[in-house]
Amino acid sequence: MKASDFGENFTWGVASAAFQVEGAWNIDGKAPSVWDAAAHRGRIEGGPVSDQAIDFYHRYAEDIALIASLGFKAKRLSLSWPRILGNGAGPQNAKGIDFYNRVIDCCLEHGIEPWVTLFHWDLPLELQRSGGFANRAIVDLFADYATVCARAFGDRVKHWMVFNEPNSVAGHLLIGAHERWGFHVRKMLRSVHHMNLAIAEAARRLRRDLPAGARIGTTIATMPLHPFDPTDAWRQRAQAAYDAVFHRIFVDPLGGLGYPWEATPLLRFLRSAVADADYDRLPFRFDFLGIQYYSPVHIHRAPIPGLWGVPSFWMNDAKPVVRCEVGWYANPPGLTRTLERYATHPIADRLVITENGIGVYDELRDGCVHDEIRIWYYRKHLELTLDAIRNGLPVDGYFCWSYADNVEWLFGLRPRLGLVYIDYEDGSKRYLKDSALWFRDFLRQ
């Protein structure tokens, strides 16, 4: 397998999110996000480690040069809504916009194409206080934010992703990550509908305000069930309910297929948030769908009305598996199943793997990190991606998560998913892991 086997128009990139790498959480006009608040409330392992993160805000030029040295030609980055619009509605923060202008220009100077994500979870705290995604008013506010970004950066950014993993955001809402811990099913499902409306409306604003030729996409976290036995009636019913709640309610409405009301009675809490006129506002034909795949899940029996089972990363048997630091286990064939499933979905014509990676127990020894498991993980997923392309699936690109170790949300600094090791004990000094060197050699072929 060589990089050239994927075709000359295939995009090779790395990805990161603003909250996880930038730091500078309260300077130059940036307002707090829900995740800043979570860090300062002790919700993140290790405390407010995101205040500094890996200091991309001040070291972006160093990091972009490092990415370029490895041979990647694209950098997926997210924009921080509270850095650009403070409380979420404005006024615009000129210093925040100037920062992203510098990052975008630096990428282009190094021959790296910036792929911009509008929203990667860092909701302005002020909007959360007024209901967040449970408040329908957020639909127009998010669309206005999209307009600001399109007009500020659209002359140089050609690839846009509206929303990062709405199903993950729903998971945070379900468990109360930004309020009291617990299960908030009704609020979560009402928020899902408003997220879908916001994604569709923001995408229409981007289409209106961006130059012709700009490509607009969005992303979905994919977690296929494994194994799935279609002859097992209980598992089949649990599969349908799980798939509806964790996947279909986020992609089917945007693809013009409506909500899968028949899959589970749990969705009655979502139906109450849907107005008749909303069905015409939901569909949007994206240029690409971002596939984000790490691991499949298993279903364990549980007496949950309407769901009939609980998804888990832990298996029932004692098979040896490659498991990452936060519990996910490696199952490369799950990527094939995912690509096959979404290749014909009406939400988009093309697929881009916008996140794929693994966190393992990296150790820095004499300036080196020997992460053979990560190399194995990437190689196996790339082999299956190439097979998918050869089998006619419309896959256009692949982004590693992530270019560097960073703040992995509730898990803090403990999980390391980067190609670059960050030495937090020594001023966040950067070291290339063996996996980074493997990619450098692979991309040079």
What digits encode the pLDDT tens for the residues 169-195? 999 999 999 999 998 999 999 999 999
Which residues make Cβ contacts (< 8 Å) with residue 422, sequence separation at least 6?
54, 404, 405, 406, 416, 428, 429, 430
pLDDT tens figures, 107-162 = 999 999 999 999 999 999 999 999 999 999 999 999 999 999 999 999 999 999 99
316-325: list long-range contacts, CB under 8 Å, 24+ apart. 322/358, 322/373, 322/376, 322/377, 324/294, 324/295, 324/358, 324/359, 324/360, 324/415, 325/359, 325/360, 325/361, 325/414, 325/415, 325/416
pLDDT tens figures, 32-53 = 999 999 999 999 999 999 999 9
325 is catalytic: no
Specify whether the CB–CB gap between 230 and 236 falls below 8 A.
Answer: yes
Q: Round to whole Å and give the CA distance between 381 and 119.
A: 26
179 is catalytic: no
Whole-model pTM: value is: 0.96
Decide: residue 103, CB within 10 A, 0-12 exposed, 13-18 middle, 19+ buried.
buried
Residue in 165, 179, 340, 372 annotated catalytic: 165
Options 3.40.50.920, 3.20.20.80, 3.40.1190.20, 3.30.1340.10; CATH for 3-444 is 3.20.20.80
Residue in 22, 201, 355, 408 annotated catalytic: 355
